[in-house]
Amino acid sequence: QVQLVESGGGLVQPGGSLRLSCVASGFISDYDAVGWFRQAPGKEREGVSCFSSSDGSTYYSDSVKGRFTISRDNAKNTVYLEMNNLKPEDTAVYYCATDPSYRGAALLCNYGMDYWGKGTLVTVSS
């Protein structure tokens, strides 16, 4: 059983920054893929950024490319999402996810992963 717990969400002004964290516990390997997804009210879930350890690929959606950075600290079983130059359209619930498959990052971000956290709310507003 894998458990994921996100933190770091909150209210931030446009142009500001936030760093989301996701601590994983349970049966998780350093080689599992990890990712961040988001869902805004009335919108479908979007794969924001994913990292696949199997082929070293990293994916960012066009809407966040150049502003967000995904990283992981295997020693701490933690995945991060550094978010800079935040915009009101980044407002959403952000979910951390992991997957034991060997698929690439783009596929995982487009089709989803096996294990999910409960999410943390990010609100970008003045």
What pLDDT is attached to residue 31? Answer: 78
The series of mean pLDDT values per 10 residues for the chain, 126 residues long, is: 95 98 86 94 96 92 97 93 98 96 90 95 97
What pLDDT is attached to residue 30? Answer: 77
- Distance from C-alpha of 49 to C-alpha of 105, rounded to nearest angstrom: 8
What pLDDT is attached to residue 26? Answer: 82
30-56 as b/e, with b when 16 or more CB fall inside 10 Å? eebbbbbbbeeeeeeebbbbbbbbeee
What pLDDT is attached to residue 53? Answer: 87
Q: What is the pLDDT of residues 22-52, one digit of tens each?
A: 999 887 777 789 999 999 999 999 999 999 9
What pLDDT is attached to residue 54? Answer: 86
What pLDDT is attached to residue 120? Answer: 98
What pLDDT is attached to residue 113? Answer: 93
Contact by Cβ (8 Å): 76, 95: no
